[in-house]
Amino acid sequence: MQNPNEDTQWNDILREKGIIPNKDTEKTFTENEIVQIAEDAIKDAQIGKKLEDLNLDELDELEDEEDEKVILEYRMKRIREMTDFSKRANYGDVREISAVDYVDEVNKAGDGVWVVLHLYKQGVPLCKLINQFLEQLAMQHPATKFLKSISTTCVPNYSDKNLPTIFIYFEGNMKKQFIGPFAFGGMKLTRDVLEWMLAEAGTLKTELERDPRPAIKDVLMSSLKARGDEESDDDD
C-alpha cells in the first residue's frame, strides 16, 4: 500500500482533492488540552458503554446521577420561581385610593400585575366583611395588588344597590367584575369562597383543591328536604 506521507506527484494530487490528509505534522499540546482530551475520551467511552454491560453497582450509580440531575433541575426551577415572585411581591396590604389615584394605581399598575379593586361604603355589613377578608388575602398573596375605595369617591353617583363591587384588572385591562350582594352569596360569604372566586378570575394561586361553595344540586336537595319536613309537620 502506498505511503500517504510520501512526497510523490500522485499523493500531491490526492491531497489537493481531499482524498488523503495532508502530511502528518507534529503538534504539541498544553497540559490543559491533554487533560481535556483524556476527559473527552472517558466520556465517550462511558456513553458508548451499553446498559446491559453495566453491573448492579454501576446501574445504581447511574440512577443516583440521574436523580441528582432531576433534583438539581427542580431546585433551579424553584429558585427561578422564587426570584420572580420576590420581584413581584411588592404589596401585602389593601391600599385606600381615590379617583385621582385610579389611573396610576390601576391602569398603570405595570406588566404582569393583577389588581383587585373593592368599591365599598361604610355601614354596609357585606362590604365590611369583604374588606376583612381582603386584608387577610393581601397578606397571603403579596404579588397581587389589593385596593379599596369608597364607591362614590371613586365613581361619582355610584348606586348603593351595586355594593359591594369588586373589579379585577390585569395590566390595566378589566378582566372580571362582581357586582352586588348576590354575586357574593350575601352574608354567607366566607374567606375561602372569596379566595376561590379571585383564583378563578386569575388574580392569585390558591391551595384550595375544590370550590368551597355547595353545589347547586346540594342546595336544591336541602331546600326540597326542608320543604318536605315542613309538609310532614303540617300533616301531623
Q: At residue 227, does pLDDT exceed 90?
A: no
In degrees, rounded to 5, the angle at the alpha carbon of residue 205 between the alpha carbons of residues 204 and 206 is: 115
Nearby residues of 104 by Cβ (< 8 Å), 6 or more positions away = none
The average pLDDT across 174-202 equals 95
The closest alpha carbon to 142, from 166, 108, 116, belongs to 116
CA distance 178 to 166: 5
In degrees, rounded to 5, the angle at the alpha carbon of residue 64 between the alpha carbons of residues 62 and 67 is: 115
The average pLDDT across 95-105 equals 91
Q: pLDDT tens-digit profile of 107-152?
A: 888 888 899 999 999 999 999 999 999 999 999 998 899 999 999 9
Chain mean pLDDT for the chain: 76
pLDDT band at 231 (very low <50, low <70, confident <90, very high): low
Q: At residue 24, does pLDDT exceed 60?
A: no
- What is the pTM assigned to this prediction? 0.57
Q: What is the pLDDT at residue 26? A: 46
Best-predicted range by mean pLDDT among 8-22, 36-50, 57-71, 88-102?
88-102
pLDDT band at 71 (very low <50, low <70, confident <90, very high): very low
73-87, 144-158, 169-183, 215-229: the lowest-pLDDT one: 215-229
Structural domain spans, the chain: 94-201
Would you give the DSSP letter of residue 107? I
Burial class (CB in 10 A: 0-12, 13-18, 19+), 21: exposed
Q: At residue 192, does pLDDT exceed 60?
A: yes
Q: What is the pLDDT at residue 18? A: 60
Would you give the DSSP letter of residue 111? T
CA distance 116 to 215: 26
Q: What is the pLDDT at residue 105? A: 92
Nearby residues of 195 by Cβ (< 8 Å), 6 or more positions away = 133, 137, 204, 206, 208
Q: What is the pLDDT at residue 51? A: 54
Q: At residue 202, does pLDDT exceed 60?
A: yes
CA distance 114 to 231: 50
Does the domain made of 94-201 have the CATH classification 3.40.30.10? yes
Q: What is the pLDDT at residue 5? A: 60
